[in-house]
């Protein structure tokens, strides 16, 4: 097939709300320190659960970040993170949709937890199932306080609706959910939409908050969370031989994506080129990762091919690295297969070691981290690493962040159900040279 | 033309909804004017203001023969797996793969994608926690600590997996070993049609050689009915799109799916062709979760961008399949958007929710599957529930009587919460 010149896409704005910082700058500073966002769970009494800690966003004030009380009424906790991170990304990029170009702006989001919160379930319980058995007639009791505003909040694309309204985005809009790969897939979708010319600018990212009784229950039941209740800050230790589960985080990450030529023409600061997206399905088991990396390998190779580069140009990998036994082993097998003889030259870290696992927001936040690493020629560390695992002998950045010029960075997101998303970001100097 | 050279065709389709479990069954209902909307059976509606829905009444074993799977997936996933695998079977691809060697099979699998539009979460899944909540309320130590401690004893360890919004994607993938590009779109009503649009785009972009695109949803459940009713969106009878007396929509449930591939590939393997994907448009009205622009401008922009994407003129459109959900504001603004593009020369319009209810995430893709059948037969079934066209909308070429399309090209409109408008353009099989 003839090589078709692909439209080049620039990352010109970043916003984050994470367990280690409520802005991109604070998050970046936290990651460089190797700070842990994990602590005993504050938002509800988790003392009876098998895991009593999590990586919560702390001291977050939605109204100061998004002064729109009317809109916030409809926003869940994760929507609030999304609105704040998106506002920060747009401010950082120094552009926003205008009346004249709003139809050329798009939105792609990885939407978090798509089920109702515990408070709403409690109301249903009290009216429709006081004895534990659901009886629909409880809902039509004239006193049932079910509120249509809450109903709106739990619609699968409520976040999309709130973001497009708040920022006046009138072009392509979508909301995706492939569990832990959602954020990466949303950014990949945005890249495709822009390349095919449907938008000139896009806001792309992910948001999630599952730190509530029903959200955390699902992971406790599966035994996916670390139970190091006496050591929350050391519990997320991706690739360490003693790792025993992930730490549930929450938050949001957004990128402003912009046509490269338009960004250059207005003199915008370009963090990185969003150069490639790869996407595969492992088809192995619902929760288990393929031990040989078959699945993630295809996603990484597609992303490299899509970026028009080879594995030889990747200097840094922001790994999915959840800190579960199987995922980390599977991902390392994939990295070794792709990088082969170069595996020792590629520096790897999982920033989940600090932030925990932000589920649907993870891929988006970690994409933002890759852009910052390229920008600052500094790769964040894999915190809490002490005991080498022979199955995970990739060249981890440990102890301190690694100053290094990064030609290109790879961000992996591997979701429950086997969806794998890989993104490649290139240093703008590589593009210009 | 934008996509010159590489035509993308539909080579398989599948559907399950209240009106049937095959395209032929649903067509039969449409042609005879028989709606599947009927008193619902999944809970007792005696005291409810709304008593009807278009339910899928087949049992799980009919939909998914592997009984082990029934415990680990939700109702909506049964529909999705059934329709997606029906479409793949209909395309003849599994038989084609049988004839390939090992290396070719691996390539085939890596180059076969799945893009699924999913309803996302549901209320029902949380009811698994209700008995535990009752016990927790009575516990002396207080609710949540008891809830947390007893969780593992009272709720299945598989709870989260049963409720993954991307379950259809994973299970169809695992069962068929389709390992290529994939996505799970959770954009409420527009999920299924966006899956089709993204599938075609991915093949054009050479990310895959063939993709099954599906939408599935099971919106009919008590809390959904309650809130839709509270918001004034729910009718007590089969919807009457664009009718003067329309008073809301009614839930259906089910799934629909299509298989897309390059025309050249379909020809090479001797596959039957159901139609051609021509292009699409997608835009947001930026109006929030429920609100609509009052002039239908979003509908207009989505239609115009679909026409531009497909490289065709409005005069070439032979019929319009409207979203037509039977709600006052939605139908009115939809008709305004259509009129602002087509003027007074609007091709025949139809809408299918009167027959199988509103399938939410699967609604637009179910309409697509049936519109391909309309184009094949050259007959647009009448809308059986239509009385008098709303004078605020008239003149509008919609009818109780069957009509003929003006050409072999259909324009399909799908609207949804979040201010979404998606328009697909397809050509029927010649």
Q: What residue in A sits closest to B222 (Cα-Cα)?
A: A136
User: Nearest 5°: phi and psi at A105?
Assistant: -100, 135
pLDDT single digits (tens) A265-304: 999 999 999 999 999 999 998 878 899 999 999 999 999 9
Q: Residue B1 pLDDT more than 60?
A: no
Of the candidates B356, B361, B274, B350, the one whose C-alpha atom is nearest the C-alpha of residue B319 is B350
Confidence at residue A117, expressed as pLDDT on a 0 to 100 scale: 84
Confidence at residue A371, expressed as pLDDT on a 0 to 100 scale: 98
Give the bridge partners for A412, in sequence order: A422
Q: What residue in A sits closest to B157 (Cα-Cα)?
A: A221
Of the candidates B411, B414, B356, the one whose C-alpha atom is nearest the C-alpha of residue B22 is B356
Dihedral sign for Cα atoms in the order B354, B359, B364, B367: negative
pLDDT single digits (tens) A339-396: 999 999 999 999 999 999 999 999 999 999 999 999 999 999 999 999 999 999 999 9
Complex confidence, ipTM: 0.97
Residue percentage of chain A with pLDDT more than 90: 93
Q: Residue A162 pLDDT more than 90?
A: yes
Q: Structural domains in chain A? A: 9-115+154-428 (3.40.47.10), 118-151 (no CATH)
d(CA B102, CA B108): 10
pLDDT single digits (tens) B116-161: 999 988 899 999 999 999 999 999 887 999 999 999 999 999 999 9
The size of the A-B interface in CB pairs under 8 A is 303
Give the bridge partners for A204, in sequence order: A108, A255
Q: Residue B4 pLDDT more than 80?
A: no
Confidence at residue A115, expressed as pLDDT on a 0 to 100 scale: 73
pLDDT single digits (tens) A196-210: 999 999 999 999 999
Best of A79, A178, A297 to substitute, by most chain B Cβ atoms within 10 angstroms, is A178
Q: Residue A416 pLDDT more than 90?
A: no
User: Nearest 5°: phi and psi at A190?
Assistant: -60, -40
In Å, how far is A154's CA from the nearest CA of chain B?
A: 8
What SS3 state is found at B236? Answer: coil
User: What number is the average pLDDT over the span A396-410?
Assistant: 98
A-chain CB neighbours of B129 within 8 Å are 121, 214, 217
| CA end-to-end distance (rounded Å), chain B | 20
Q: Structural domains in chain B? A: 8-122+163-428 (3.40.47.10), 124-160 (no CATH)
Q: Residue B51 pLDDT more than 80?
A: yes
Pure H helices in B92-129:
93-98, 102-110
Token pair 């070429």 is found at: B397
Best of B146, B174, B182 to substitute, by most chain A Cβ atoms within 10 angstroms, is B182
Q: Check B133 against A132: CB less than 8 A apart.
A: yes
d(CA A393, CA A413): 19
Confidence at residue A417, expressed as pLDDT on a 0 to 100 scale: 85
Residues of A with catalytic function: 180, 320, 357
Token pair 């415990």 is found at: B71
Q: Residue B2 pLDDT more than 90?
A: no
In Å, how far is A140's CA from the nearest CA of chain B?
A: 7
Q: Residue B361 pLDDT more than 50?
A: yes
Of the candidates B188, B55, B51, the one whose C-alpha atom is nearest the C-alpha of residue B117 is B188
Q: Give every CB contact of residue A192 below 8 A, 6+ residues apart in sequence.
A: A277, B198, B201, B202, B205
Distances (CA, A) of A16 to A88, A271, A364: 7, 15, 9
pLDDT category at A1 given cuts 50, 70, 90 is: very low
Q: Check A281 against B207: CB less than 8 A apart.
A: no
A-chain CB neighbours of B152 within 8 Å are 50, 220-221
pLDDT single digits (tens) B162-209: 999 999 999 999 999 999 999 999 999 999 999 999 999 999 999 999
d(CA A358, CA A362): 4
Q: Residue A3 pLDDT more than 80?
A: no
Confidence at residue A2, expressed as pLDDT on a 0 to 100 scale: 41
pLDDT category at B3 given cuts 50, 70, 90 is: low
pLDDT category at A152 given cuts 50, 70, 90 is: very high
| Contact call for residues A391 and A310 (beta carbons, < 8 A) | no
Q: Residue A10 pLDDT more than 70?
A: yes
User: What number is the average pLDDT over the span A152-176?
Assistant: 96
For B131, which of A132, A164, A176 is closest by C-beta distance? A132
In Å, how far is B384's CA from the nearest CA of chain A?
A: 31
d(CA A413, CA A279): 10
Residue percentage of chain B with pLDDT more than 70: 99
Return residues 375-404 of A near B (CB < 8 Å): none
A-chain CB neighbours of B160 within 8 Å are 218-219, 221-222, 416
B-chain CB neighbours of A107 within 8 Å are 284
Q: Give every CB contact of residue B252 below 8 A, 6+ residues apart in sequence.
A: B17, B18, B36, B37, B53, B54, B55, B219, B220, B353, B356, B357, B358, B359, B363
CB of A351 within 8 Å of a chain B CB? The answer is: no
User: What number is the average pLDDT over the span A114-123?
Assistant: 86
Structural element, H or E, at residue A202: strand A201-209
Distance of CA A399 to the CA centre of its chain: 24
């Amino acid at each position: 097939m003839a090589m078709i010149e692909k439209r080049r896409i620039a990352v010109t704005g970043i916003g984050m709300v994470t367990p280690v910082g409520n802005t991109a700058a604070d998050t970046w500073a936290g990651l460089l320190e190797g700070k842990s966002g994990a602590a005993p769970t504050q938002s509800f009494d988790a003392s009876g659960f098998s895991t009593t800690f999590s990586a919560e966003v702390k001291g977050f004030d939605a109204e100061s970040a998004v002064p729109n009380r009317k809109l916030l009424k409809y926003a869940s906790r994760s929507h609030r993170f999304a609105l704040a991170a998106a506002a920060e990304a747009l401010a950082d990029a120094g552009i926003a949709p205008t009346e004249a170009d709003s139809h050329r702006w798009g939105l792609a989001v990885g939407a978090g937890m798509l089920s109702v919160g515990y408070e709403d379930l409690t109301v249903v319980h009290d009216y429709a199932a006081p004895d534990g058995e659901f009886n629909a007639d409880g809902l039509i009791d004239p006193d049932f306080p079910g509120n249509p505003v809450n109903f709106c909040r739990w619609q699968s694309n409520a976040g999309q609706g709130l973001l497009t309204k708040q920022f006046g985005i009138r072009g392509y809009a979508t909301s995706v959910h492939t569990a832990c790969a959602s954020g990466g897939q949303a950014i990949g979708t945005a890249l495709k939409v822009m390349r095919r010319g449907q938008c000139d600018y896009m806001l792309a990212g992910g948001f999630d908050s599952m730190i509530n009784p029903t959200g955390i229950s699902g992971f406790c039941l599966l035994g996916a969370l670390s139970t190091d209740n006496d050591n929350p800050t050391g519990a997320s230790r991706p690739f360490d031989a003693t790792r025993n589960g992930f730490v549930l985080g929450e938050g949001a990450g957004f990128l402003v994506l912009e046509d490269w030529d338009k960004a250059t023409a207005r003199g915008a600061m370009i963090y990185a080129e969003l150069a490639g997206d790869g996407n595969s399905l492992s088809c192995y088991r619902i929760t288990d990762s393929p031990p040989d990396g078959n699945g993630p390998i295809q996603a990484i190779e597609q992303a490299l091919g899509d970026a028009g580069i080879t594995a030889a140009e990747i200097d840094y990998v922001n790994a999915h690295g959840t800190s579960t036994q199987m995922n980390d082993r599977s991902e390392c097998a994939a990295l070794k297969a792709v990088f082969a003889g170069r595996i020792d030259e590629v520096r790897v870290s999982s920033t989940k070691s600090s932030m925990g696992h932000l589920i649907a927001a993870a891929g988006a936040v970690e994409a933002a981290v890759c852009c910052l690493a390229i920008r600052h020629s500094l790769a964040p560390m894999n915190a809490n690493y002490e005991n080498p695992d022979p199955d995970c002998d990739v060249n981890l950045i440990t102890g301190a962040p690694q100053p290094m010029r990064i030609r290109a960075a790879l961000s992996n997101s591997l979701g429950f159900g086997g969806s794998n998303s890989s993104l490649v970001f290139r240093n703008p100097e590589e593009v210009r040279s | 033309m934008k996509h010159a050279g590489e035509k993308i065709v539909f080579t398989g389709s599948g559907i399950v909804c209240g009106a049937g479990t095959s395209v032929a069954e649903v067509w039969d209902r449409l042609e005879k004017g028989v709606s599947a909307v009927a008193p619902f059976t999944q809970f007792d509606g005696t005291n409810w203001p709304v008593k009807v829905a278009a339910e899928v009444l087949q049992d799980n074993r009919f939909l998914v023969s592997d009984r082990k799977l029934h415990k680990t997936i939700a109702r909506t996933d049964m529909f999705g797996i059934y329709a997606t695998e029906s479409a793949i079977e209909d395309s003849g691809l599994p038989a084609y793969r049988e004839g390939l060697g090992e290396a070719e099979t691996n390539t085939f699998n890596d180059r076969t994608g799945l893009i699924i539009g999913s309803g996302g979460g549901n209320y029902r899944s949380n009811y698994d926690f209700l008995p535990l909540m009752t016990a927790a309320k009575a516990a002396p130590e207080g609710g949540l600590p008891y809830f947390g401690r007893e969780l593992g004893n009272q709720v299945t360890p598989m709870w989260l997996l049963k409720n993954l919004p991307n379950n259809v994607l994973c299970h169809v993938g695992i069962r068929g070993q389709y390992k290529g590009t994939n996505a799970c779109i959770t954009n409420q009503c527009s999920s299924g049609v966006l899956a089709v649009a993204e599938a075609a785009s991915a093949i054009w972009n050479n990310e895959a050689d063939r993709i099954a695109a599906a939408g599935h949803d099971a919106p009919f459940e008590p809390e959904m009915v309650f809130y839709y009713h509270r918001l004034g969106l729910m009718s007590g009878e089969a919807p009457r799109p664009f009718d003067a007396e329309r008073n809301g929509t009614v839930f259906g449930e089910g799934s629909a799916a299509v298989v897309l591939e390059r025309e050249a590939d379909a020809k090479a393997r001797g596959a039957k062709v159901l139609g051609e994907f021509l292009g699409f448009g997608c835009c947001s009205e930026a109006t929030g979760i429920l609100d609509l622009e009052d002039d239908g401008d979003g509908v207009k922009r989505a239609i115009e961008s679909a026409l531009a994407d497909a490289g065709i003129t409005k005069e070439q459109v032979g019929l319009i399949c409207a979203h037509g959900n039977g709600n006052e504001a939605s139908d009115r603004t939809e008709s305004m958007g259509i009129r602002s593009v087509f003027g007074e020369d609007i091709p025949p319009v139809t809408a299918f929710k009167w027959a199988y209810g509103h399938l939410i995430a699967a609604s637009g893709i179910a309409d697509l599957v049936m519109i391909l059948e309309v184009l094949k037969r050259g007959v647009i079934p009448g809308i059986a529930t239509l009385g008098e066209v709303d004078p605020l909308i008239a003149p509008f070429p919609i009818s109780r009587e069957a009509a003929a399309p003006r050409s072999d090209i259909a324009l399909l409109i799908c609207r949804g919460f979040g201010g979404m408008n998606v328009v697909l353009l397809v050509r029927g099989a010649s």
